[in-house]
Amino acid sequence: DGAELVKQAKGKGKSHVKKGELGGGSFQSMGLHPSLLRALTLRGYRAPTPIQRLTVPALLASPPRDLVGMARTGSGKTLAYMIPLVQRLGGQHSTAFGARALILIPTRELALQVMKVGKDLSRGWHAGSGGDHAGDGESSTAGGVLRWGLVVGGEGMDDQFEMLTSNPDVIIATPGRLLHVAVEMNLDLRSVQYVVFDEADRLFELGFAVAMNEILGRLPSSRQTLLFSATLPKTLVEFAKAGLQNPKLVRLDAES
Ligand code: ADP
Ligand code: MG
């Protein structure tokens, strides 16, 4: 019922993560698809940061569980949710209708940065290079590289409509524009299985709370929902209690 989350979130400035949990761990020990491991190496990511070490295995565990990740700016929160996202989507485009993942983020600039990280991780994916890692979308036909779609302010609505007809696997959006598109273009979000609220504290500061709640109402209830933030103010804890199901809280000290 979220009571534990509130209790943990209230501990001021103190991590509930024991020091020992930060040691050890490597990308190689996380059961990642070989294509994903190769992409990480190619990009020069040699070892996971503490937030990645604690969240990636948790997010890939079965059954899927919701998660709140709190760590300072620059701690590597993007890969913390992007690695599991690419792995869960099987690294490839699905011909089934509708986006399978949704990332909500405060600004167009951040959306572009995050899309680049995602594209870098999923480019050059070889489906056959290591066992069955098909992820959740295995009932549908995989075909070609993952498709990414931006739904952010500052782009023409016509261009965004055009983009959405290409059936992107992942939508990266600012909440205001996404809600607008969902209402005006009847964008169906019921296929979304993996939802990320990135920079959630800034989403709130920018006044997106109402839009975010509207979007939650358009998503299927059987989904994995993640919230990442540098800070966890009370409004955010309330939002997480309402929109996430019994989330695991990963909270790191300022130095981590
Ligand atoms: P946050 O979202 O927590 O502010 P970012 O995800 O933007 O942090 O990452 C901050 C920087 O750290 C980026 O330049 C990113 O490329 C780098 N980075 C992230 N993870 C790793 C890693 N495992 N190894 C090396 N650099 C990393
Ligand atoms: Mg970030």
DSSP label at residue 245: S
Atom of ligand 1 minimally distant from the CA of 45? 24
CA triple 212-179-83, angle to 5 deg:
65
Cα distance between residue 151 and residue 174, in whole Å: 7
State the ligand closest to the CA atom of 113: 1
Supply the CATH number for residue 59's domain: 3.40.50.300
- Is 103 part of any domain? yes
Asked if the structure places residue 245 within a domain, the reply is yes
Report if residue 256 sits inside a domain. no
* C-alpha to C-alpha distance for 117 and 134, rounded to whole angstroms: 21
What is the CA(127)–ligand 2 centre distance, in A? 29
- Does a cis peptide bond (omega within 30 degrees of 0) precede residue 63? yes
Banded model confidence at residue 156, pLDDT cuts 50, 70, 90: confident
Distance 48 CA to ligand 2 centre (A): 15
Does residue 90 carry a pLDDT above 70?
Answer: yes
pLDDT value, residue 154: 83
* Domains in the chain, number: 1
Of 49-58, 82-91, 125-134, 144-153, the poorest mean pLDDT is in: 125-134
Instruction: Spell out which residues line ligand 1, taking CB within 6 angstroms.
Output: 45, 48-49, 52, 71, 73-79
Nearest by Cα to 76 from 36, 46, 101: 46
Per the domain annotation, does 238 fall within a domain? yes
Per mean pLDDT, which range of 9-23, 37-51, 214-228 is the poorest? 9-23
Q: What angle do CA 42, 44, 49 make, to 5 degrees?
A: 130
Q: Do residues 84 and 151 touch, judged by C-beta distance below 8 A?
A: no
Q: Residue 17 falls within a domain, yes or no?
A: yes
The ipTM estimated for the assembled molecules is 0.99
What's the rounded mean pLDDT across residues 216-237? 96
Let me know if residue 69 belongs to a domain: yes
The three-state secondary structure class of 144 is strand
> How many Å apart are CA 177 and CA 164, to the nearest integer?
13
Whole-prediction pTM value?
Answer: 0.89
Given a cut of 90, is residue 232 above it in pLDDT? Answer: yes
Whether 187 is in a domain gets the answer yes
Domain of 171? 3-251
